[in-house]
Amino acid sequence: MLNNAKEPRLNRYQSFSFMNRTPVGDKKLDVSHKTVLYMEDVSVSFDGFKALNKLSLYIDDGELRCLIGPNGAGKTTLMDVITGKTRPDNGSVYFGQTIDLLQMDEPAIAQAGICRKFQKPSVFENLTVFENLELSMKADKGAWITLLATLTGEQRDRIDEVLEIIGIMSLKGQLAGILSHGQKQWLEIGMLLIQEPKVMLVDEPVAGMTHQEIDRTAELLLSLQGKHSVIVVEHDMEFVRSIAKKVTVLHEGSVLTEGTMDEVQNDPRVIQVYLGE
């Protein structure tokens, strides 16, 4: 039986004190300890139900991590806490060494470099693929600025670079509304990438995709690790196996275990609460 990975992770950071950290302010992201996201003893309750229960999770800089678990395990609440949508009852959530995410609202967290993609793609269907990426670029979004803005050559090059990464360069002039489901998912990933995030939260990216689209999505997410930390929530175990070096299993709001896909699939606890259902 695989030991609960929570303990060695806590031991790794037990000498690191969160008490002296300060809110983001003008602080730059500090990943000198090789960890980009810290969650320690985070609990969230809704009307007496503990959605998260003293959850601790550490994501390394540039890591691609998969989160799995049965419905109600706490996956969505975890992402809500990281992005500022939900405030925990207690616990610590830090971006790098010094940025306290619990002192920031959702726009500030996104601006700091943490972006989220929901399961259902939300693109501007009446705009072209290129225009979707243009609107998603980091910039002053004031009405007059937007109306009068002209893209620089560097910005156009960046959009083309992202189009190449997500594999839809040939569709840059197409309306987003006529794209296939998979292409819309890739476009939305591109809309995150154009913002140059440090951490990307991706919720069930392959739901409803064809086998070919699933394979392409796996290639895309694998290509992002290293430069970005990518946290993927997914129920498709074959897809998880194709991309994950490390998998975290959530159950009843806590980390049940962590390890390779083979390790977690063969853990009797995981079989009982999730994979064996």
* 218 assigned to some structural domain: yes
Query: Which residues lie across from 94 on neighbouring strands?
Result: 38, 100
* Model pLDDT, residue 142: 53
* 153 assigned to some structural domain: yes
What average pLDDT does the chain have? Answer: 87
Please check the confidence at residue 13 and state whether its pLDDT lies above 60: no
Q: 39, 56 in Cβ contact below 8 A?
A: yes
* 266 assigned to some structural domain: yes
* 189 assigned to some structural domain: yes
Which amino acid type is present at position 199? V
For 197-216, write each residue's pLDDT tens digit. Answer: 999 999 999 999 999 999 99
* 187 assigned to some structural domain: yes
* Model pLDDT, residue 121: 77
* Model pLDDT, residue 177: 96
* 138 assigned to some structural domain: yes
Lowest mean per-residue pLDDT among 60-64, 175-179, 229-233, 263-267: 263-267
For 65-117, write each residue's pLDDT tens digit. Answer: 999 999 889 999 999 999 999 999 999 999 999 999 999 999 999 999 999 99
Write out 167-190 in H/E/C secondary structure.
CCHHHCCCEHHHCCHHHHHHHHHH
Range of the domain at 154: 6-275
Q: What is the mean pLDDT of residues 36-53?
A: 95
* Model pLDDT, residue 276: 56
* Model pLDDT, residue 4: 40
Please check the confidence at residue 273 and state whether its pLDDT lies above 90: no
| Residue 145 vs residue 225, higher pLDDT | 225
* Model pLDDT, residue 27: 72
For 111-151, write each residue's pLDDT tens digit. Answer: 999 999 987 778 999 999 999 999 998 655 554 445 446 78
Q: CA-to-CA distance for 115 and 193, rounded, in angstroms?
A: 9
Q: What is the CATH number of the domain that holds 18?
A: 3.40.50.300
* 20 assigned to some structural domain: yes
* 1 assigned to some structural domain: no
pTM above 0.95? no
Number of folded domains that form the chain: 1
